[in-house]
Amino acid sequence: MTVTEFLLKHVPFLAGLTDDQAHYLAKSAEQVLFNKGQTVIFMGGTIDGLHVVAQGKVSVHARVGRQTQQVAELGPGEVFGETSVVEMTTAGATVRSAEDQTLVFVIPEEAFRKLLRTDPDLQARVQSLIAERRARNAPPPKDDKPKEDKPA
Q: What share of the chain is helix, strand, coil (3-state, %, to 5)?
A: 35, 30, 35
**Higher pLDDT, residue 80 or 83:** 80
Query: How would residue 137 be classed by pLDDT, with cut points 50, 70 and 90?
Result: low
Which residues make Cβ contacts (< 8 Å) with residue 73, sequence separation at least 6? Answer: 57, 58, 59, 60, 98
Q: Is the pLDDT of residue 56 over 90?
A: yes
Residue 101 identity (one-letter amino acid):
Q
Rounded to two decimals, what is the model's pTM? 0.83
Q: Tell me the mean pLDDT in the region 10-36.
A: 93
Would the pLDDT of 139 be above 70? no
Mean pLDDT for 79-91 is 89
Fold for the domain defined by 3-137: Jelly Rolls (2.60.120)
Sorted by where each begins, the domain ranges of the chain are: 3-137
Mean pLDDT of 115-120: 87
Q: What is the mean pLDDT of residues 90-118?
A: 94
Q: Which residue has the higher pLDDT, 55 or 132?
A: 55
The answer to whether the Cα torsion of 135, 136, 138, 144 is positive or negative is: positive
> 132 φ, ψ to 5°?
-65, -45
